[in-house]
Structures are given as C-alpha cells and as structure tokens.
Amino acid sequence: MNEVLEMQCPVPIREYPQVLMAHGGGGRLMHALVERMFGVAFANPILDRRHDAAVLPASSHRLAFTTDSYVVRPLFFPGGDLGSLAIHGTVNDLVMSGARPQYLSAGFILEEGLPMEVLWRVVLSMRHAAAQSGVMIVTGDTKVVDAGAGDGLFINTTGLGLIEHSLTIDPRSVAVGDAVLISGDVGRHGMAVMAMREGLEFESAIESDSASVAEPVLAMVRAGMELHCLRDLTRGGLTASLNEIAEASSMSIRITEEAVPVRGDVSAACEILGLDVLQVACEGRFVAFVPEAEAERALAILKAHPVSAGAVRIGTVESKDGAEVVAQGVLGRDRVLPMPSGEQLPRIC
Amino acid sequence: MKYVAEYRDPAWARRLSEEVARVVTRPWTLMEVCGGQTHSIVKHGVDAMLPTGIELIHGPGCPVCVTPVGLIDAALHIAAMPGVMFCSFGDMLRVPGTRGDLLSAKAAGAEVRIVYSPLDAVQLASRHPERQVVFFGVGFETTAPATALAVAQAASRGLTNFSLLVSHVRVPPAMEALLSTPGCRVQGFLAAGHVCAVMGTAEYESIAARHRVPIVVTGFEPVDLLRGVLCCVRQLESGRHEVENEYPRAVRDGGNEPAQGWMKEVFRVVSREWRGMGILPGSGLGLAEPYARFDALLRFGIRSEGASPETECSSGLILQGRLRPPECPAFGTRCTPEHPLGATMVSSEGACAAYHRYRRPKGRT
Amino acid sequence: MCLAVPGRLLRVQGEEALWRTGRVDFGGVIKEVSLACVPEVRPGEYVMVHAGVAISRLDEEEALRLLDSLRSIQGLSDSGEEDP
C-alpha cells in the first residue's frame, strides 16, 4: 500500500496536468489514463484481464447487488474524500444484507479541466478504501464531459457481495420487542462537510465518520447471531433510516433521544446552525435490529471493532401499528420523528 | 454545551412544572412571542408539562413567517437577475412567493447562497467584485444589529456591489396590534429573550401598564421557559402586570447600547406589512437616508407590491394566536412542509411546522 | 426568531469597533464572530452569539443565580431524585 501511496501519478501529469476531452475519447489518451492510472491503482487478477466485462466465478450463495452514485462537495473533507466515500458507501450497502462484499465496479464522470493530480488523489483513496474493505474493483468506465457540464468529478460504484448465511436481514423480519442498536455516534459526516461550505464555515476537530462497517457486521453473522434488520445511516441521518424501516416493516419504533451518542462538538455545531442532529448525514454508522435476547451479545461484538466501538442500544420495536418513529426527549416527553422533508437548511433566525 | 445543558435538566423542569401547578388556581392563556421559543416548547414538550388550564399560544415572532409575499417576490425577481449573488439565511429559501421560492429560483439558474451571518455576505461582496451581492435582511431586533453592521462595513469599505433587501421588523408594535385586536385571548406574554438582549425591557413597560398584561422576558431552554411561565402565572394570580426579567444572564434592563447605536446609525423606523397581519405602523426598520444607496429595491429599480393575495392559508390567525395549527383544515393534509400553503409551515420556527415536526404520538401525552 | 448560542471568547482581534472580532469556542466548535456590539468583553468571558454577532455578554453570576433560585423551590418533587 505505502509504496503506491507515495508513488507519483503514473499518467504523465507534466504533459497533461488537467483532464482533456480526449481522456474520454477512446483514443491514446484515454488508454493511457485507464492503463496507467486506474489499471495500476486498482490492479487485481480479474481487472488485469482487461475484458469488456469482468468474468467472476459463480457461487451457490445468494448474491447482494447494489449501486450508488457519489457527488459530494467538496471532494476532500476532514476524514475522507469522494473516493473513499464511493467505496465505503457501496460496501456498506452490501453489508446491510449481511453480505461479504467482493467485487465493485467504478464509473467515473470527469469534467474537462479537472486537475489530474486531484483525480489521482481520489483514485489512491479508492484503492486504499477498497483494500481495507476487502473488495476488488474489477471493471469500470470513464467519461469526460465538457467544462461546465459537470462539477469536477462524479463516481458511481456498483457492488456484488456473497450472502453466506440463511437469515433474511430485511425490514420484514423486524419483530415487536426487537432491540434497536446503533453502531456509534451520529452526525459527524454531515457536519464535517458543512464546516467547509462557504458562508457557513467553522473550525472544529470534527472528521467524517466515513468507513466500511463490514468487519463488525460480518463478525455478528459469523457468530450465528439472529439479525433481523440492518440499515446504514446516510442522508437524512438516523431519523430517515428509522422511518424507512418503520414504514417497510409497519412497526412503530421507540428510541430514547438521550441514548443516541453525539459528540459534544457535533452537537454544538448543530446548535449554532439550528440543525437537528438526528437528521444529519453519517457515512459509517448503522442501526441493527436484533431480538432482545441477542442485544447484549451483539453489543459486545460491535464494541470489539474500532469502527463500532461506540455501539449502544437506543430503543425498542414497540408495536405493529402506527409505523411511527417515536423519540422520548430529554424531559421524558414523547414526540414523533417524521421522515425529514428534504435537505435541512441552517436555521438562523 | 455550557450554559445550555443545565437549562434542559429534567429534574429542574419537573420541579418548575410542579410549582406552576401549585400556584395556579384558574385557567390562563399565555403567548410566547418568539418562534425560537415555540420550537423549543414543542420539541421538548414543555406545553405538555403544564397543568390543564394553562394554555400557551404561539406568537408572531418568526421573521420568516411574517415576511410579506410582495418582498419574497421581489427577492425572487432580484435573485434571477444576471450577475446577482443572492444571500439569505437558510430558512428563507423554502418560503413560497407568488411564483415559487428561492430554492426553485436556484434550480432555475439563480445564484442563491445560504449564509450564517450578514457579515459573510459582505465578505462575499469583497471577494466577488464582479457580482452584485444582495443580502435578504429579515429578522427582529435580535438580527438587526448584525444587518446594520453589514451595511456599516460595506460603507466603510466603499463596496458598491453590496445591497440589502430589508424586511426587518420590531416586536412591540406587533404586541400592541395583537392586544388591540377584538377578541384577543392573551393574558400574559413570555417576551423574546434575545430581542430584549438587544433592546432591553423599557419598551414593554407601557404595553404592560396600558393593557394590564404581565410581560416576562424569557429564555429559550425548557427550564427558562417554565420559569417564565411560573413568573407570569404568579403575576396573574396576584393581579400584577409588570415587566419582569427572567433571562438576566443575557438581558440587561437597558439592553445592548452599542447594538442599539449601530441600529440607529443605519436604520430608521418605518411602517411594514406583516404577512397575515397587514400593515403595522412603526413596525419595521428601513435604511436611513445616508445608507439608502444600499437598498436593493432602489438599486435594481423594483417596486415591492403590497396587498398579498388571499390563499387558503390561515397563517394570519395562527400568528395572532387565534387558531392552533391542528385546528386549520389544511394542516397536515393540503399543507405540509413539502407543500406549504404558507410561511408558518415553512420555517422550522413557524408554529405549523413545529407542530408538524414535533407532533405527539397518537393516544399518548 | 433568534437562535443565539453561548460561547467562550478565546481571543480578540482588531481595534476599531466596527471590525473588532473574536474567536469564540462553542463547546469545541470555533467561529470568528463580530464583537462590535460588546466592546467590554474580555477573553475567558462568555457571549451570546446570533448570526455571527455577539449580542450580549453572558452574566455568569446571573446564570448561577437562576440555578440557585431553583434549589429554593423545595419539597415539590417526591421522586427522591438528587438535585442535578
């Protein structure tokens, strides 16, 4: 890993310091970009065959299959960047069905004029994140759009994972009495990105929580745990994820607001901007629904992994009617947490 | 956070609510003036901690909600002009004008920026001399010093590409208007703590005396709010109607004199239309003569039309505390945060949005 | 209307009132805010900040006094919980 991280960008940056239309044109420049940047950074036996399609071994296991596109701004933020996010996000989506992530595709949409050095940093970050998550990037695509027609760089990743268990990890498996666990503190990714927006800037030590959560989830699967449902927290934060599950399972979920871990600085940043931390985006956090009897064991496994060391129980699945998410507030009063309505805007006055 | 967490303590809150229950002998109707207080009351369930008979009605203190449609239309018009960078607080972006809101203007190609402070808009104007930077100056007396400073800074730097679409409003004339409305049910006020941090308490003395209502300057956290309710109820029970400061950690009787100085320097008192309440004399702040060149309406030659069109929205009654959000026939059905009929459903401080967002579970308290 | 948050003043910059600013620490989040309206405030003290402007010095004695006055409401809670 280190030797590659230290290595210079293999595409001759001095010749082409910025992406040109020709880098997507199918000719010599595109070939150089694919071979010498993507091919080198993502090298593995399947990608190295350079077929139009990656040829993968078949398996008798069920497959998990997911896709996501990544457009975050800025490209680099404290604790991560677009590249690591594009790996972690898709890996985590696979993991939420208890699958072992194996193969990813990577589609790049580059805007003409994107500094080649920026692309190289993002690609290296993807390489690093893929290695850490135990996945191979086995196929890909590159397109270049005219200057002004894109916003620097967009990435799509599609992932395949093997389901090596017989559970149905799905909102439909959620049952009354299930314990609701969260893998760590919330709101860090959203606030790390917010801190960099022109006009809203603030200084803090807040870093994105962007990470693969494959290890703790697969450890729970290996331990034979009866997992009912898993859901990663992304846009819309905890509130959105719980509402999705409540709706899909037709169950009401009750959480204790104070039990949800929030770092002091994240909570302070939300106070200043008037945001509800329960709706702020995360990129390395998930909720787990497990039977009451499994809750302690699940927490012990989660806490044994650094990425989920802050895991705690936040609530319980309460009833079969309502499909509502209810939070008990600091004063002991209940309120409904409705599905967030679009992006939260800073509330100043 | 220090000086926040203490005031959310459940044990203190319970003690205060028990004390309110102990001193109250008959029903009272109180109004919290400020939308920030409404937000906190509904979020934390402070209203549910009060004994039956103490009713809190939600006041007009949400600047986003009371900004008239005509000015929002002016904002949309200016934002769409070529070369303009339109800066606003976040919660103004979803407020509907006659045709669309600032978010849809942004989607149509306008450059609309969310800023945390009016001073950030001045920074943007310095950094982008090729753009005309316009700041949408909404807010009560709490926000007016920040906007005044922005104008003073722009003047001091000699910026010719900064201007202000000004919609500042003042609390006391609105309280007067409410109290003078026939059928007004308000018997006591929780005054807006941060407005008083700037303006002090003197303006409220004559209102309390003439209308014989207690006015208790109140903070924003649950313990502050319950403390405000307790003091208001104590006054009502003993037949007093005084101005009382229950937020002394932030509010001095004389307010913040330097802040008032900046406001006097930059603004003058004007009449202003309030959405849902009509034109209230002396209820607004406009740019004073020496700063008139920073007026965006003048700079871009816009005439802001008065007389907002009638809609199904009952925000006027809501803002006057004559209708509770769930009593509105459109609430939660034809009017939701995604498809608001009016501003009280848009701003997260608006009473309707607060009720929608923090509603109680069915069949529970 | 008026979201104002308390923070501790760390450092002051600038002389002229209009441009005087300070670094304010809000529980680990630091923002540069205008001190044009609070010329008397010194580092170490708390200010209430709204829309990038300190609008008031937070009076710590008064803050403690409210909590003390709450303690004087006695014998109301029978839950037996400790004072916070």
Chain B closest-CA separation from residue C55 CA (Å): 6
The reply to whether A348 falls in a domain is no
Candidates A199, A268, A272; nearest CB to B115: A199
State whether A341 and B116 contact (CB < 8 Å): no
The reply to whether B207 falls in a domain is yes
Residue type, A119: L
Compute and round to an integer the Cα radius of gyration of chain B: 20
In chain B, which residues have their Cβ closer than 8 Å to the Cβ of C83? 11
Q: What is the CATH number of the domain that holds A147?
A: 3.30.1330.10
The reply to whether A347 falls in a domain is no
Same domain, A194 and A88: no
Confidence of residue B363 (pLDDT cuts 50, 70, 90): very low
Chain C closest-CA separation from residue B13 CA (Å): 9
Same domain, A154 and A208: no
The reply to whether B56 falls in a domain is yes
State whether B197 and C58 contact (CB < 8 Å): no
Chain A residue whose CA is closest to B91: A347
Strand partners, A234: none
List the structure tokens of A97.
């069905």
In chain C, which residues have their Cβ closer than 8 Å to the Cβ of A274? 3
Contact B247, B218 (CB under 8 A): yes
Q: Note the ipTM here.
A: 0.91
Residues spanned by the domain of A260: 171-336
User: Which residue, of A124, A142, A163, is where some domain finishes?
Assistant: A163
Q: Give me the residue spans of the domains in chain C.
A: 5-71
Helix or strand holding residue B19 (H, E)? helix B10-23
User: Which residue, of A114, A136, A163, is where some domain finishes?
Assistant: A163
Chain B residue whose CA is closest to C64: B249
Task: Round to the nearest angstrom and report the end-to-end CA distance of chain A.
Answer: 49
Task: Give the Cα separation of C76 and A306 in Å (integer).
Answer: 46
Percentage of residues of chain C with pLDDT beyond 90: 69
The reply to whether A342 falls in a domain is no
In chain B, which residues have their Cβ closer than 8 Å to the Cβ of C34? 117, 119, 146, 149
Q: What is the DSSP letter of B48?
A: G
3-state secondary structure (DSSP) of residue B11: helix
For the entire predicted model, the pTM comes to: 0.90
Chain C closest-CA separation from residue A268 CA (Å): 6
3-state secondary structure (DSSP) of residue B179: helix
The reply to whether A341 falls in a domain is no
Helix or strand holding residue C11 (H, E)? strand C5-13
Contact B226, B216 (CB under 8 A): no
User: Domain C5-71 carries which CATH code?
Assistant: 2.30.30.140
Contact B244, B216 (CB under 8 A): yes
Same domain, A183 and A156: no
Contact A288, A298 (CB under 8 A): yes
Residues spanned by the domain of B54: 5-62+203-245
Same domain, A252 and A195: yes
Same domain, A212 and A275: yes
Same domain, A144 and A197: no
Contact B219, B248 (CB under 8 A): no
Largest CA distance in chain B: 65
Q: How far is CA B182 from the centre of its chain?
A: 23
Residue type, B345: M
Q: How many domains in chain B?
A: 1
The reply to whether B163 falls in a domain is no
**From the first residue on, what is the mean pLDDT of each consecutive set of 10 residues in chain A (349 residues)?**
54 75 88 89 92 89 96 94 98 97 97 94 96 96 93 96 96 96 98 88 94 98 97 95 95 96 96 93 97 98 98 94 89 90 75
Residues B91-141 have pLDDT tens digits of: 888 888 888 899 999 999 999 999 999 999 999 999 999 999 999 999 999
Helix or strand holding residue C29 (H, E)? strand C29-34
- Bigger pLDDT: C2 vs A158: A158
State whether C28 and A205 contact (CB < 8 Å): yes
Q: How much is the pLDDT for B2? A: 86
Other beta carbons less than 10 A from residue C81's beta carbon: 11
Taking each continuous run of H as one helix and of E as one strand, the counts in chain B are 15, 11
Helix or strand holding residue A27 (H, E)? none
The reply to whether B234 falls in a domain is yes
State whether A347 and B91 contact (CB < 8 Å): yes
* C78 pLDDT higher than 50: no
Chain C contact present for A25, CB below 8 A: no
Residues C37-49 have pLDDT tens digits of: 999 999 999 999 9
Residues B242-300 have pLDDT tens digits of: 999 999 999 999 999 999 999 999 999 999 998 878 899 999 999 999 999 999 999 99
Q: How much is the pLDDT for A343? A: 79
Residues B52-68 have pLDDT tens digits of: 999 998 888 888 888 88
Residues 49-88 of B with CB under 8 A from C: 61-63
The reply to whether B87 falls in a domain is no
Residue with tokens 């901007």: A273
Chain C contact present for A198, CB below 8 A: no
Residue with tokens 């029903």: B27
Q: How many domains in chain A?
A: 2
Q: What is the CATH number of the domain that holds B228?
A: 3.40.50.11750
Residues B190-238 have pLDDT tens digits of: 999 999 999 999 999 999 999 999 999 999 999 999 999 999 999 999 9
List the structure tokens of A237.
């934060």
In chain B, which residues have their Cβ closer than 8 Å to the Cβ of C84? 6, 9, 11-12
Q: How far is CA A224 from the centre of its chain?
A: 25
Confidence of residue B360 (pLDDT cuts 50, 70, 90): low
Beta strands in chain A (DSSP E): 62-70, 76-77, 80-81, 100-111, 136-145, 153-163, 179-182, 229-232, 252-256, 286-290, 312-319, 325-328, 334-336
In chain B, which residues have their Cβ closer than 8 Å to the Cβ of C70? 12, 15-16, 223, 227
Helix or strand holding residue B29 (H, E)? strand B28-34
Confidence of residue B307 (pLDDT cuts 50, 70, 90): low
State whether A272 and C5 contact (CB < 8 Å): yes
User: Which residue, of A137, A163, A189, is where some domain finishes?
Assistant: A163
